[in-house]
Structure 1
């Protein structure tokens, strides 16, 4: 996987002056979903700290019923509380997993920080068990660092 080339494309999207933030995020989701064959669902959730919940933002992949996730529930909810990336090789082995699609076998959730505060996360599902590696984690953490400037 040519992560460097993808980072350049994400950077171009982030710096495109005529698109709104939502459009940029949607384009990034589609870029990742369409380019990396084991990224079967790519989306952003955003934190509502007052209500202690995550709200679905732009995404690419099948529609999901999980448009609101309470903090602490599922992988996404756990990341909202822990502020740490969560890489799950086998979702069936997780007690606190929320099933969005029966085909999902692995998930990675990476928090999105702005000025040191977790404002949301990128969530990626794969239909392949053990799909995500430390390279995916590093890549997605770098993507979120680029995306964070959209919220400054």
Structure 2
């Protein structure tokens, strides 16, 4: 009987085996950055690639106000991919700070958006947090505007 118990224990131990688990270092998501020149102002348009490899158009438009200093005013941040989606929002810049993020807008030409949240993260950064559901997967899009000394940095 003891031999049977020992044999069963031995087979159980071998059956369970020892599994070695290795954690691989996760690759950081490549964040693309666009720089809007506040001194040049006006409308500046940039082309890039989205995380899915689609052509992405980023446009920052200065909303004219002729009674203000450079760096102070409203700016519309827009991003779109051809035939898939378009998102935009506006920021109000005053005293080298983003004082307000407002007027969010999204359109899904294919799929749908399951989350859309515009936040003023801090006094120099605002982010439009989006989740877009496609046919097979869900994509996170974080359209972020960060105020730098003479520029607005746009990441997505």
TM-score (norm 1): 0.32
Question: Is the strand fraction higher in 1 or 2?
Answer: 2
Higher Rg of the two aligned structures: 2
Q: Which has the higher contact order (CA 8 A, sep 6+)?
A: 1
Question: Is the helix fraction higher in 1 or 2?
Answer: 1
